[in-house]
């Protein structure tokens, strides 16, 4: 089949893509560009559309409407095996009756490569994930982490320009997951391959990605760098999905180039720097827990609150406080800075700098 030359600008492009199953629409007017060599993560809750988008890119699902392009060519109707894309699944998808070496050689043999060349390339791929000594074992003789390394090597062995990863670390324990995160990022830097990665793990998305696309109900709620998403989310959904958040109800009084002026529930008025939000708009004030400060009620201005609970996390103390007007707030305090805090049930003064807060659009549960 002759492939059409697309007009999209990205190495990978989705244009006006919709996906529906009967009356249920799971992807709504998706427009997305991925640059060559980029590590893009699709992040969102279950049912948000991130995995469906990845499966359409792989060719395992077909868009109801719209086009998907790879390197300028429309691939919406190209079968998966002709797209030249490497795929890594959460369940590894290794052949149990084959050795590790033969598992990695399989994509090369399917492409008609000579046996000797297959073996050489497969061993180089195994060396990349530091498993060449286990080449002749079967998958059942490897740990979960080792099997996932094999799956990564198999996806890369035929040198694809694009690799898709569908929650590849979801079944691993925390320590092993963090170790493999580092390894995958290192491989990405060394090979320069374009990676589209799906996860619902916030920290995984923040630590691994060049950019993150946050999905909500079949649409991209926001796409940006991890730092920008964390520091300047556009909505309460993005704010609450990326890291822990204190979201305070607020009324938008004015918006301008210098920031947004709001009134909190206690009547206090604050001008917060950041992206201008035009009235009318339902908004909330975001203050990350690490930006909340606690002090003695006699030490200046702030909001008097009761300390409800402590939790020790090694490098920080998570403190839950309650103010009758603002509600429950969470503060993260560095261990060593908490000597003067009163005990549970005692009063404390809560305060923060306006420059450490962000006004975000309020998104209700029924909004897409």
Q: Is 90 exceeded by the pLDDT of residue 217?
A: yes
- Distance of CA 53 to CAs 27, 147, 203, 221, Å? 8, 25, 21, 14
Q: Is 80 exceeded by the pLDDT of residue 366?
A: no
Q: Taking the model in full, what pTM does it have? A: 0.88
Q: Where are the alpha helices (DSSP H) in the chain?
A: 50-58, 100-110, 115-128, 144-156, 174-191, 202-208, 226-231, 236-241
pLDDT at 245: 94
Lowest-confidence region among 14-23, 89-98, 193-202, 231-240: 89-98
Q: Is 60 exceeded by the pLDDT of residue 262?
A: yes
Domains of the chain plus CATH, in order, are 12-230 (3.40.50.300), 239-361 (2.40.50.140)
- pLDDT above 70 covers a percentage of the chain that reads 95
pLDDT at 5: 37
Higher pLDDT: 3 or 180? It is 180
Higher pLDDT: 5 or 347? It is 347
Pairwise CA distance, residues 123 & 128, whole Å:
9
pLDDT at 115: 80
pLDDT in tens, 122-148: 999 898 888 989 999 999 999 888 898
3-class DSSP assignment, residue 314 = coil
What is the token pair recorded at 94?
């290794």
pLDDT at 339: 54
Pairwise CA distance, residues 86 & 102, whole Å:
17
Q: How many helices (H) and strands (E) does the chain have?
A: 8, 20
Pairwise CA distance, residues 363 & 236, whole Å:
6
For residues 273-293, give the mean pLDDT. Answer: 93
Pairwise CA distance, residues 250 & 283, whole Å:
6
Q: Is 70 exceeded by the pLDDT of residue 3?
A: no
Bridge partner list, 211: 40
Closest by Cα among 291, 202, 302 to 243: 202
Give φ, ψ of 126 to 5 degrees: -65, -40
pLDDT at 78: 93
User: DSSP state, 355?
Assistant: G
pLDDT at 28: 95
pLDDT at 45: 93
Pairwise CA distance, residues 68 & 57, whole Å:
7
Indicate the pLDDT class of residue 9, thresholds 50, 70 and 90: low
pLDDT at 210: 97
Higher pLDDT: 116 or 163? It is 163
pLDDT at 340: 58
Q: Is 50 exceeded by the pLDDT of residue 7?
A: no
Buried b (16+ CB within 10 A) or exposed e, 186-224: ebbeeeebbbbbbbbbbebbbebbebbbbbbbbbbbbbb
Pairwise CA distance, residues 106 & 103, whole Å:
5
pLDDT in tens, 27-66: 999 999 999 999 999 999 999 999 999 999 999 999 999 9
Closest by Cα among 137, 138, 100 to 119: 100
User: ∠ at Cα 323 (319, 327), nearest 5°?
Assistant: 85
Indicate the pLDDT class of residue 358, thresholds 50, 70 and 90: very high
pLDDT at 365: 45
Q: Which helix (H) or strand (E) holds 303?
A: strand 303-312
Indicate the pLDDT class of residue 319, thresholds 50, 70 and 90: very high
| Look-up of token digits 């704010």 | 239
Give φ, ψ of 306 to 5 degrees: -95, 140
């Amino acid at each position: 089949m002759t492939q059409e030359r697309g007009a999209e600008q990205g190495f990978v492009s989705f244009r006006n893509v919709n996906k529906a199953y009967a009356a249920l629409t799971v992807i709504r007017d998706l427009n997305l560009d991925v640059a060559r060599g980029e590590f893009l993560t699709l992040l969102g809750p279950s049912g948000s559309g991130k995995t469906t988008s990845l499966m359409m890119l792989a060719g395992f699902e077909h868009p109801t409407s719209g086009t998907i392009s790879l390197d300028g060519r429309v691939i919406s109707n190209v079968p998966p095996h002709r797209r030249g894309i490497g795929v890594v699944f959460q369940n590894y998808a290794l052949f149990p009756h084959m050795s590790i070496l033969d598992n990695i050689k399989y994509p090369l043999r399917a492409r008609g490569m000579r046996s000797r060349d297959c073996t050489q390339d497969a061993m180089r791929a195994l060396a990349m994930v530091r498993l060449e000594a286990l080449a002749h074992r079967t998958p059942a003789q490897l740990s979960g982490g080792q099997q996932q390394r094999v799956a990564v090597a198999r996806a890369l062995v035929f040198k694809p320009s694009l690799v898709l990863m569908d929650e590849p670390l979801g079944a691993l324990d925390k320590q092993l997951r963090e170790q493999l995160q580092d390894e995958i990022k290192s491989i990405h830097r060394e090979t320069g391959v374009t990676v589209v990665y799906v996860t619902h793990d916030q920290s995984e998305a923040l630590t691994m990605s060049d950019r993150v696309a946050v999905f909500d109900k079949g649409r991209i709620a926001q796409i940006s760098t991890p730092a920008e998403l964390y520091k300047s989310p556009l909505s309460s959904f993005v704010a609450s999905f990326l890291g822990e958040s204190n979201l305070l109800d607020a009324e938008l009084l004015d918006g301008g180039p210098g920031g947004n002026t709001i009134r909190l529930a206690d009547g206090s008025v604050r001008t917060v720097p950041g992206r201008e939000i035009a009235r009318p708009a339902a908004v909330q004030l975001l203050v990350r827990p690490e930006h909340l400060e606690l002090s003695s009620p006699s030490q200046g201005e702030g909001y008097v609150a009761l300390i409800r609970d402590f939790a020790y996390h090694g490098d920080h103390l998570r403190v839950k406080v309650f103010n009758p007007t603002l509600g429950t707030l969470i503060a993260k305090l560095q261990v060593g800075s908490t000597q003067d805090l009163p005990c549970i049930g005692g009063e404390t003064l809560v305060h923060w700098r306006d420059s450490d807060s962000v006004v975000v659009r309020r998104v209700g549960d029924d909004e897409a």
